[in-house]
Structure 1
Amino acid sequence: MKPLSILVSAALLGSASLATLPAQAALPGNVAGQEMPSLAPMLEQVTPAVVSINVAGTHVSRQRIPDAFRFFFGPNAPQEQTREQPFEGLGSGVIIDAKNGYVVTNNHVVDEADKIEVSLTDGRTFKAKKIGADKDVDIALLQIEADGLTQIQQADSDELRVGDFAVAIGNPLGLGQTVTSGIVSALGRSDLQVENLENFIQTDAAINRGNSGGALVNLRGELIGINTAIIGPNGGNIGIGFAIPVNMMKNLVKQIVDHGEVRRGYLGIMGGELTHELAKAMGYKSGQGAFVSQVLEDSAADKAGIKAGDIVTHIDGKAVKSFGELRAKVATLGEGAKVKLGLVRDGDEKTVTVTLTGQSDAKEAAGEALHPRLDGAEFENDSKGIKVTKVAERSPAAYTGLEQGDIIVGVNRQRVKTVKDLEKILDSNGDGGVLALNIIRGRTSLYLVIR
């Protein structure tokens, strides 16, 4: 390789002849003994904190047997068919607390897993226990019992800027620990229909299957996000990857550690994205912010003095780009958190302090109180409609076909926005009428018929 080094150097030096070059010609970046720029020193400190995760379990699926088919099996026929399918999977994780053995990953990596193993870069493997999770954000907290762990340092993801360098570390396609680099391509990405609560960092650092739950770090080796999803044909990388901001992860982990569960913060507003036309109509010059179309009575927002028509521009001094970002940040802050919201009202800037209520305070009704066939489900108002927050197994609501996370947006071709809207329609329908619920499930719109 030495002759190649000399030729390249000669080309760069212009008129210098090969005969007059020093015996050890140096490439640019190694002039006068300087080392080549490299991420290696940083990665040597960080990569021991990124782990591989292997899981195994049994996926149980239930399908309701239509009444017409149950007739052939007699009066004791089952109402549903159950199927069990074994599965194995892999992903990545990040050690955030070496003393307590806490490892963060994506919930979808370990969801329904009966066996979870964490493998370190030094070759050791440990069984892991799932401490808690948040399916809406796709974060799970694991714990292992091990000595000599390396934990990662965490940055302030609210300080990120588009164009900052980013490095993704994980276990793509089961190849083993792999490092890719890129930049922060965008911030505050939402409405991707990947998770229920979205406020993603977008990066062009290559992320592939198996990277889920791995680390996205800055050039100081500080964690800025948890790699979660990609957009690409057949699941391949095309330079559009998404990570959950580390600040959201920290809030959720604290709740899981303190309470054993996530206690969702609730503001009590409905609204949407601030379009250019809407901003102009409201006399607001910027196109960024969250528009408030309704404030729910006796909610945290109502008590703080927020009004319909307000535009939320900041949360705790940080700019709010969209309604989706506001919703995700508020939800992950947790019950009882105090936040300062910057508002624009009639062209004037205001700041209000809000004490967030808990998710239990946001639940408007149980399914049993609404309709016998909705027994076992719980509902709450959501910015998009009526969210199904829980469906008990083998309940009438489950047999109807409702699933946790469904959003009810219409009943019998009538638009519904709140549980009270649903109650009014059900009351007017009586006991014997057919109900057609218009459901948004992920990216799919469907109807469930209740008889």
Structure 2
Amino acid sequence: MKRPLLALSVVALSLSSIITPLHASAALPLKVDNHELPSLAPMLEQVSPAVVSIAVEGTQVSTQQIPDSFRFFFGDQLPAEQPQERPFRGLGSGVIIDAEKGRIVTNYHVINGADTIKVQLTDGREYDAELIGGDKMSDIALLKLTKKVKGLSEVTFADSDTLRVGDFTVAIGNPFGLGQTVTSGIVSALGRSGLNLDNLENFIQTDAAINSGNSGGALVNLNGELIGINTAILGPNGGNIGIGFAIPSNMIRNLTDQIIEFGEVKRGMLGVQGGEITTELAEALGYESNHGAFVNQVMPDSAADKAGLQAGDVIVSVNGKRIDTFSELRAKVATLGAGKKVTLGVIRDGDTKKFDVTLGESPTQQTKAEQLHAGLKGAALTNTTKADAYQGVKVTSVAENSPAASYQIEQGDIIIGVNRQPVANLGEFRAIAEKQDGILALHIQRGNRKVVVVVR
């Protein structure tokens, strides 16, 4: 697996120590020797069938540096680096979020590079799954079972913005490939970030035991509602130190909705630069708190600029929900999606103000066309925008003397169909291309003309 989950352990929460469950409907009392004891079993019987095990297989391509002393004997005929292909297998977990359509959410790192994805239900049934779309920066991927399956269960989403430190949590997953396992704990912290500065992080921290193979599994509350997807742990040398992280359910819902609608994540952009509130900065601003996102620059003509935000503002809430750090603001804005309208709470010169902002769209995200078909190597693709005359997949560049150029694919072409099936975005293109081992017939809009290009 590309980024395996490190193991960690947790001091188990003793259920016998809970005097009154937070939700009596989820943890019905059992009688043992005429004494009533709380139990999570009734809730788990309802939610566990919606958590699945995922097994993947694929090939990793790495490069090996060839020593200069060895290359001396071969001259320029031997490259400095030699690519190597290595097969890999991995295990993880997933959560069914749409039983009718067989949609499953998991971590991106669980399926990254996988050629085959198999899903096993709690009753032992096993099915093939395909990738609908994913987002590496937020570590979320959406899968779909390749055939219609009856009798599936799905989870209900909770509002993760209402979570509080101390709320009870239950983690369900497939640690070490042992089969479905349940552990319990509490919310240890909220809004955690800093594990990978390049990613979008706004984690729920929990002490529920999460181990290798739990990636993509469910973190639920005592009502059996999904509050997060388990994604990462912290532990030296694989040790279990009681620190696990989950992606909040609201973030998951925003991302999966975008993948379903557009075939990709359309990342929202606010257009500000800044950082965290330090004690020194708070004193300099006359700000009597250390929570919020400090804005030190507003980009010209950005969504923030158009809404009236200024350098020196402190953003303290998004849609009425408190913001503690700049990293949390960045993650929430990016995953809400382009075009979404949000209300920002801002502290300016000691006064509280509100600004309505329509989020902009991040710079175009390009996909290497060879990821869809080898014959398209050398071309870069992206989804069309409202500014384009036609909807589909746009060719943004074509390298000279590349396979794509040999098929006379041109920069500016808009692919509107593949194999006589219309495509509106990269997600739909990918879904068709992955099922074809050979020829792709691309229906292209080139200016005012329609062209069909056959790629082998």
TM surpasses 0.5: yes
Paired position in structure 1 for 2:387: none
Q: Distance in 2 between matches of 1:230 and 1:122?
A: 28
Q: Distance in 2 between matches of 1:67 and 1:292?
A: 50
Paired position in structure 2 for 1:216: 219
Match of 1:265 among 249, 265, 268: 268
CA contact (8 A) 2:134 2:264 kept: yes
Q: Distance in 1 between matches of 2:280 and 2:173?
A: 42
Shift of 1:207: 0.4
Q: Distance in 2 between matches of 1:285 and 1:139?
A: 37
Shift of 1:66: 8.7
Paired position in structure 2 for 1:96: 97
Paired position in structure 1 for 2:294: 291
Q: 1:176 to 1:163 in 2, by over 3 A?
A: same
Q: Distance in 2 between matches of 1:194 and 1:163?
A: 27
Residues 272-283 of structure 1: matches in 2 within 5 Å? 272-283=275-286
Paired position in structure 2 for 1:132: 133
Q: Distance in 1 between matches of 2:172 and 2:123?
A: 16
Q: Distance in 2 between matches of 1:46 and 1:350?
A: 42
The answer to whether the aligner puts 1:349 opposite 2:352 as a matched pair is: yes
Larger RCO, structures 1/2 (Cα 8 Å, 6+ apart):
2
Shift of 1:260: 0.4
Residues 72-221 of structure 1: matches in 2 within 5 Å? 73-75=74-76, 77-78=78-79, 80-144=81-145, 145=147, 146-193=149-196, 196-221=199-224
Paired position in structure 2 for 1:410: none
Amino acid at match of 2:121: L
Query: For each residue in 1:295-319, what CA deviation from the matched residue of structure 2 results, as whole angstroms up to 9, or x when unmatched?
Result: 1111111111111110000000000
CA contact (8 A) 2:266 2:362 kept: yes
Shift of 1:276: 1.6
Paired position in structure 2 for 1:61: 62
Q: 1:250 to 1:35 in 2, by over 3 A?
A: same
Shift of 1:191: 1.4
CA contact (8 A) 1:267 1:356 kept: yes
Aligned-partner SS, 2:209: coil
- Identical counterparts, % of pairs: 66
Aligned-partner SS, 2:201: coil
Match of 2:330 among 324, 327, 332: 327
Amino acid at match of 2:182: V
Aligned-partner SS, 1:271: strand
CA contact (8 A) 2:192 2:201 kept: yes
CA contact (8 A) 2:30 2:39 kept: no
Aligned-partner SS, 1:128: strand
Q: Number of residue pairs matched? A: 344
Segment drifting more, 153-162 vs 28-37:
28-37
TM-score with structure 1 setting the length: 0.72
In terms of Rg, which structure is larger?
1
Paired position in structure 1 for 2:14: none
Shift of 1:277: 1.5
Aligned-partner SS, 1:117: strand
Q: Distance in 2 between matches of 1:31 and 1:302?
A: 64
Amino acid at match of 2:140: I
Q: 1:108 to 1:362 in 2, by over 3 A?
A: closer
Query: For each residue in 1:187-218, what CA deviation from the matched residue of structure 2 results, as whole angstroms up to 9, or x when unmatched?
Result: 00011227611100000000010000000000
Residues 388-427 of structure 1: matches in 2 within 5 Å? none
CA contact (8 A) 1:169 1:180 kept: yes
TM-score with structure 2 setting the length: 0.71
Paired position in structure 1 for 2:436: none
Aligned-partner SS, 2:240: coil
Q: Distance in 2 between matches of 1:305 and 1:71?
A: 63
Shift of 1:287: 0.7
Any unmatched runs of 5+ in structure 1? 1-27, 364-374, 378-391, 396-451
Match of 1:360 among 357, 360, 363: 363
Q: Distance in 2 between matches of 1:52 and 1:31?
A: 33
Shift of 1:71: 6.8
Q: Give the structure with the larger helix fraction.
A: 1
Paired position in structure 2 for 1:232: 235
Shift of 1:62: 3.1
CA contact (8 A) 1:137 1:195 kept: no
Paired position in structure 2 for 1:385: none
Shift of 1:78: 3.6
Amino acid at match of 2:122: T
Segment drifting more, 227-236 vs 326-335:
227-236
Q: 1:251 to 1:72 in 2, by over 3 A?
A: farther
Amino acid at match of 1:265: G
Q: Distance in 2 between matches of 1:283 and 1:175?
A: 55
Shift of 1:275: 1.0
CA contact (8 A) 2:30 2:37 kept: yes
Aligned-partner SS, 1:52: strand
Amino acid at match of 1:50: V
Aligned-partner SS, 1:254: helix
CA contact (8 A) 1:209 1:235 kept: no
Q: Distance in 2 between matches of 1:320 and 1:361?
A: 27
Measured on the aligned residues, the alpha-carbon RMSD in Å equals 2.8
Aligned-partner SS, 2:134: strand
Q: 1:394 to 1:81 in 2, by over 3 A?
A: farther
Shift of 1:30: 4.0
Aligned-partner SS, 1:142: strand
Q: Distance in 1 between matches of 2:332 and 2:298?
A: 18
Any unmatched runs of 5+ in structure 2? 1-28, 367-377, 381-396, 401-456
CA contact (8 A) 1:53 1:118 kept: yes
